[in-house]
């Protein structure tokens, strides 16, 4: 299809020109290459070229035991590393039918939400940068640092934790975990309104974000756009609600849905999700039950032959893991359905007809993480 | 009224007299030109370094950071270190670029800012050239810079540069109108285009205060339009780094890039200086009508200090804009100018003419 279009342009109107955005471009958030056809400043169409950071994670998984391949999943969507880990672990636990302790479920859910907040904070930083508001970057990173400190204290790593293991956790959380998390929630409840003051209420920002990148509910469903991007189009796709895992069935929370379907709606959904995540953490943090940090697991995990499927909600959408096992200690085939892959390919539909500046804003509002697309 | 204010023309006059005693009048003029040129060159370079440092510190404060603090006391030598780095960097030749235009562009940009600086009244009696059409001259030469930007974008043989340059062309040409009209408002008030005359006319109060609300409107429009004219955020579409990597100077490296960089900062200073001169009285101290005692005390602060205080106040405002606001889109940018600022300025001018006609201003 892409060749056809290119040929069309070659013989077509001379005013069109093609510009390569990326792989080294400040706003493609990684090594994504967008082949953008422009007429003046207006985007006619764009073709995403992926694969610049393809590492063959799915293939590598076939050579690793289940404990080992957890560490590879971190490297997909590195901003929701915890959810990626959890997806595989849930799949393995399902297959083995292990009953994991309540404590583990609670801690996993809290970590999920902390990770989601950290991810949305970084998205907010980068989205502001995309629109040229350079100060937002430092406000977001300032608060994200607090979450990363909590992570560092408990897991020793800040970004790629690999803390969740099949059957439970790598080890118990740090004794300070509860206290520091509560401190963070208290701190961030004060700081989050600053985000609105700096960016949301700004008239330039609203003019830049409102009414561009319209994604109807049908488009979102058609392209499989999930996560906050899909929910901005009123598409109820939150796996935490549809198929609760961890402790999500024990907490009260709202699925944030936007009706604007535009960039601003997606922005608002993410901002509201940060508030909602804090609510979830607050409900859980005081009630973490005592107990073991892991279920009894054999040192070598062998899944019974068969196919297993689990999905979780990462900060960017629905991550699904599909494992085919032939009874060995390594999976026969492993397939990840990563959210960013689907979210990326709707970009052409959203950005066509808009200006270059809008293309950047729209791709920013989809919150793409490129290693997650390429795997 | 500003009788006890130090007049720099006594200093320059004595230098002139001393030189005249030593050589013939032709050589005197030549020597003076060289001296002034050297002084401006030095001032230009130091000002550029200082403004870069100031911007880093200001943006650091706004962004909850410390800013440069390692090289020298409070990081004062940081920009000098950066300058040395830029001077030593390789000038990368661009394949298929137009070499003459490519090399010429930075000089045009820097020339424009140099020429504009000549007409600024830095202090009482301290002005290189006092044209009787000073305002007109400054407007004219500062708009030369866009030629350099267009050339840079065109000759770089890069699409990003070209988009940046075309954006910049559209932007500067549009916003020039509003800048001109807002300055014209004060020209109507003061009845002269001579910059020193405009300053003198504010001896009993700055036009911002004397000119009622229309002067305030003109000042706000001037701030917006001049920020756009010097390509700074939130109007930095020409070099929108999240869209066009670096816009029109994407392909430049080393000292040629430094020229663009320097010219941008000096232009910021120049528009701030013009804004200070026209609206805030330039080097004129803060005077209130006929409060002789108060005005006398204010005169003890040297005129050059007043000038730089006001100028850096506006520089700070412009920096504040950049680090707080998101960037506009090109169509929004042009809409703002042609649909809002320009009609408002035109109506404002008519208003001001009416006020002057009725003699309602102070």
pLDDT tens track for B334-359: 888 889 988 998 898 888 888 888 87
Gap between the Cα atoms of A357 and B330, Å rounded: 8
Is the model's pLDDT at B2 over the cut of 50?
no
Which domain, by its residues, includes A191?
Answer: 57-374
CB-CB neighbors (< 8 A) of B64 in chain A: 138-139, 142
For residue B331, what is the nearest residue in chain A, using CA coordinates? A355
Express as a percent the part of chain B with pLDDT over 90: 1
CATH number of the domain encompassing residue A149: 1.10.645.10
Average pLDDT over residues B146-151: 86
* CA separation for the pair A345, A47 (Å, rounded): 9
> Can you give the pTM of this predicted structure?
0.84
Q: Are residues B80 and B101 in the same domain?
A: no
Q: Measure A203 CA to nearest chain B CA, in Å.
A: 9
Is residue A304 predicted with pLDDT exceeding 60? yes
Of A107, A191, A203, nearest to A155 by C-alpha is A107
Helices (H), chain A: 2-11, 57-61, 66-74, 81-96, 102-130, 135-155, 177-195, 203-209, 217-223, 227-231, 239-242, 263-285, 339-345, 347-351, 356-365, 370-374
Q: At what angle do helices B25-62 and B303-324 cross, to 10 degrees?
A: 40
- pLDDT value of residue A11: 44
Cβ-based contacts of A207 with chain B (< 8 Å): 328-329, 332
Whether B246 and B289 map to the same domain: the answer is yes
Mark yes or no for CB contact A137/B324 under 8 Å.
no
What is the mean predicted confidence (pLDDT) over B109-129? 82
Please indicate whether, in this complex, the C-beta atoms of A129 and B329 are within 8 angstroms of each other.
no
Residue to test with chain A: of B64, B243, B339, most A Cβ within 10 A: B243
Q: Would B5 be classed as within a structural domain?
A: no
Instruction: Assess whether B70 and B106 both reside in one domain.
Output: no
> Å from A12 to nearest chain B CA?
19
Predicted confidence at residue B280, as pLDDT, reads 85
**Between chains, do B242 and A137 touch, taking CB under 8 Å as contact?**
no
Span B178-185, mean pLDDT?
87
Residues of B within 8 A of A358 (CB-CB) are: 329
Kindly state whether residue A94 falls inside one of the protein's structural domains.
Answer: yes
- Report how far residue B43's alpha carbon sits from residue A223's, in angstroms, rounded to the nearest whole number: 59
pLDDT at A221 over 80: yes
> CB-CB: which of A25, A128, A357 is closest to B245?
A25
Give the minimum alpha-carbon distance from B157 to chain A in angstroms, rounded to a whole number: 13
DSSP annotation string for A129-192: HHTT-THHHHHHHHHHHHHHHHHHHHHS-SS----EETTEESSPPPTTHHHHHHHHHHHHHHHH
Element (H, E) at A325: strand A317-325
Tokens of B57: 């510190």
Q: Are both B71 and B101 inside the same structural domain?
A: no
Across chain B, what does the average pLDDT equal?
A: 83
Question: In the A/B pair of chains, how many CB contacts fall below 8 A?
Answer: 81
CA separation for the pair A371, A341 (Å, rounded):
10
| B80 and B120 in a common domain | no
Question: Does A246 have pLDDT greater than 60?
Answer: yes
Q: Are residues B76 and B189 in the same domain?
A: no
pLDDT confidence band for B31 (50 / 70 / 90): confident
The domain boundary, picked from B31, B61, B88, lies at: B88
Q: Are residues B106 and B165 in the same domain?
A: yes
If asked whether residues B328 and B256 sit together in one domain, one would say yes
Q: What pLDDT sits at residue B193?
A: 83
User: What distance in Å separates residue A123's CA from the closest CA in chain B?
Assistant: 15
> pLDDT band at residue A203, thresholds of 50, 70 and 90?
confident
Closest by CA to A189, choosing from A276, A80, A293, is A276
Specify the 3-state DSSP secondary structure of A310: strand
Domain shared by B53 and B195, yes or no: no
In this complex, the residue of A27, A205, A356 whose CB is nearest that of residue B326 is A205
Secondary element (H or E) of residue B327: none
The average pLDDT across A54-79 equals 88
Please check the confidence at residue B233 and state whether its pLDDT lies above 70: yes
Give dist(CA B162, CA B151) in Å, integer: 9
Residue B209, Cα to own-chain centre: how many angstroms?
Answer: 22
Provide the domain count of chain B.
2
pLDDT attached to residue A1: 45
Asked if residue B40 has a cis previous peptide bond (ω within 30° of 0), the answer is: no
Q: How far apart are CA A189 and CA A196, in angstroms?
A: 12
Asked whether residue A2 carries a pLDDT value surpassing 70, the answer given is: no
Return mean pLDDT, chain A: 86
Residue A233 is encoded by which pair of tokens? Answer: 């189009």
Q: Which residues contact A228 (CB under 8 A, 6 or more apart)?
A: A120, A256, A266, A269, A270, A273, A315, A316, A317, A367
Q: Pick the last residue of a domain from B26, B59, B88.
A: B88
Count CB atoms within 10 A of the CB of residue B343: 10
Instruction: Say if residue B175 is in the same domain as residue B247.
Output: yes
Whether A15 maps to a domain, the answer reads no
pLDDT at A7 over 60: no
Same domain, residue pair B251 and B309: yes
Q: What is the pLDDT of residue A13?
A: 59
Looking at the structure, tell me whether residues B225 and B125 fall in a common domain.
yes
How far does the CA of residue A175 sit from the closest CA of chain B (Å)? 31
DSSP-derived 3-state class of residue B141:
helix
| Position B154 confidence tier, pLDDT thresholds 50, 70, 90 | confident
Q: What pLDDT, on a 0 to 100 scale, did the predictor assign at position A202?
A: 86
Note the pLDDT tens digit of each residue in A273-298: 999 998 998 888 888 888 888 888 88
Task: Find the mean pLDDT for residues A152-158.
Answer: 86
* Cβ contact B64–A360 (<8 Å): no
Q: Structural domain tally of chain A?
A: 1
Write phi, then psi, for A338 (nearest 5 degrees).
-95, 140
Whether residue A96 is contained in a domain is answered as yes
In a domain, A257, yes or no: yes
Nearest residue of chain A to residue B241 (CA atoms) = A26
Nearest CB to A133: which of B64, B241, B325? B325
Residue B58 inside a domain? The answer is yes
pLDDT of residue B3: 58
Residue B29, C-beta contacts closer than 8 angstroms, at least 6 positions apart: none
Partner-chain contact B64 A142, CB within 8 Å: yes
Quick one: average pLDDT of B191-201?
82
Q: Does B79 map to a domain?
A: yes
Which range marks the domain in which residue B170 is found? Answer: 94-358
User: Is there a contact between A133 and B328 if contact means CB atoms under 8 Å apart?
Assistant: no
Residue B338 covered by a domain: yes
- Percent helix, strand and coil across chain B, each rounded to 5? 70, 0, 25
Q: How high is the pLDDT of residue B169?
A: 85
For residue B326, give the nearest of A25, A133, A355 by CB distance: A133
State mean pLDDT over B98-123. 85
Query: Would you say residue B316 has pLDDT above 70?
Result: yes
């Amino acid at each position: 299809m892409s060749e056809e279009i290119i040929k069309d342009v070659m013989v077509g109107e001379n005013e069109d020109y093609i510009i390569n955005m990326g792989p080294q471009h400040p706003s493609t958030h990684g090594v994504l290459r967008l082949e953008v056809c422009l007429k003046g400043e207006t985007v006619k169409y764009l073709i995403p070229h992926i694969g610049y950071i393809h590492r063959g994670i799915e293939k590598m998984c076939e050579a690793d035991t289940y404990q080992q391949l957890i560490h590879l999943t971190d490297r997909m969507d590195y901003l929701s590393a915890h959810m990626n880990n959890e997806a595989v672990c849930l799949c393995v636990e399902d297959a083995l039918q292990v009953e994991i302790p309540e404590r583990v479920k609670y801690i996993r859910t809290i970590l999920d939400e902390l990770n989601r907040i950290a991810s949305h904070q970084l998205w907010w930083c980068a989205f502001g940068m995309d629109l040229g508001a350079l100060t937002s970057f430092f406000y977001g990173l300032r608060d994200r640092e607090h979450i990363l400190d909590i992570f560092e204290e408990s897991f020793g790593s800040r970004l790629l934790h690999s803390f969740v293991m099949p059957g439970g956790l790598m080890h118990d959380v740090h004794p300070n975990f509860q206290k520091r998390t509560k401190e963070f929630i208290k701190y961030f409840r004060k700081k989050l309104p600053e985000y609105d003051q700096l960016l949301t209420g700004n008239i330039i920002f609203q003019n830049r974000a409102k009414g561009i990148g319209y994604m109807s509910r049908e488009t979102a469903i058609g392209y499989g756009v999930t996560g906050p991007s899909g929910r901005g189009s009123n598409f109820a796709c939150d796996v935490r609600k549809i198929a609760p895992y961890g402790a999500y069935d024990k907490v009260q929370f709202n699925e944030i849905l936007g009706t604007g379907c535009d960039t601003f709606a997606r922005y608002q959904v993410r901002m509201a999700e940060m508030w909602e995540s804090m609510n979830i953490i607050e409900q859980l943090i005081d009630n973490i039950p005592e107990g073991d940090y892991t279920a009894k697991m054999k040192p070598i995990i062998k899944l019974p032959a068969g196919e297993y499927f689990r999905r979780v909600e990462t900060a960017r959408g629905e991550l699904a893991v599909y494992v085919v096992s032939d009874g060995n200690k390594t999976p026969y085939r492993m397939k990840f359905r990563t959210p960013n892959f689907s979210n990326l390919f709707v970009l052409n539909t959203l950005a066509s007809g808009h200006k270059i500046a809008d293309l950047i804003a729209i791709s920013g509002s989809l919150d793409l993480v490129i290693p997650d697309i390429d795997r | 009224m500003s009788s006890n204010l130090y007049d720099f023309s006594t200093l320059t006059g004595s230098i002139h007299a001393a030189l005249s005693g030593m050589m013939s009048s032709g050589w005197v003029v030549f020597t003076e030109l060289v001296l002034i040129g050297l002084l401006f060159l030095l001032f230009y370079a130091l000002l550029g370094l200082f403004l870069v440092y100031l911007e880093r510190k200001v943006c650091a404060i706004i962004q909850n950071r410390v800013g440069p603090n390692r090289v020298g006391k409070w990081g004062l030598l940081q920009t000098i270190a950066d300058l040395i780095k830029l001077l030593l960097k390789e000038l990368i030749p661009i394949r298929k670029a137009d070499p003459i235009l490519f090399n010429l562009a930075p000089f045009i940009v820097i020339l424009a800012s140099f020429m504009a600086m000549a007409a600024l009244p830095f202090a009482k009696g301290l002005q290189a050239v006092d044209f009787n059409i000073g305002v007109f001259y400054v407007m004219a030469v500062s708009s030369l810079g866009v030629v350099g930007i267009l050339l840079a974008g065109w000759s770089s043989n890069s699409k990003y540069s070209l988009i940046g340059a075309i954006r910049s062309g559209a932007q500067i040409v549009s916003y020039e109108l509003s800048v001109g009209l807002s300055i014209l408002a004060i020209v109507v008030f003061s009845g002269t285009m001579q910059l020193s005359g405009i300053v003198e006319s504010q001896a009993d109060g700055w036009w911002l205060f004397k000119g009622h609300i229309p002067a305030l409107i003109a000042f706000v429009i001037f701030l917006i339009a001049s920020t756009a004219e010097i390509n700074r955020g939130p109007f930095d579409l020409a070099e929108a780094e999240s869209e066009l990597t670096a816009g029109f100077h994407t392909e430049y490296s080393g000292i040629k890039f430094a020229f663009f960089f320097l010219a941008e900062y000096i232009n910021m200073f120049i528009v701030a200086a013009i804004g200070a001169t026209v609206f805030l009285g330039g080097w004129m101290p803060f005077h209130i009508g006929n409060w002789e005692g108060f005005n006398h005390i204010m005169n003890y602060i040297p005129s050059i200090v007043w000038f730089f205080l006001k100028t850096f106040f506006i520089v700070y405002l412009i920096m504040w804009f950049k680090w707080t606001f998101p960037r506009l889109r090109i169509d929004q940018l042009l809409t703002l100018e042609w649909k809002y600022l320009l009609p408002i300025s035109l109506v404002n001018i008519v208003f001001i003419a009416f006020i002057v006609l009725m003699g309602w201003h102070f």
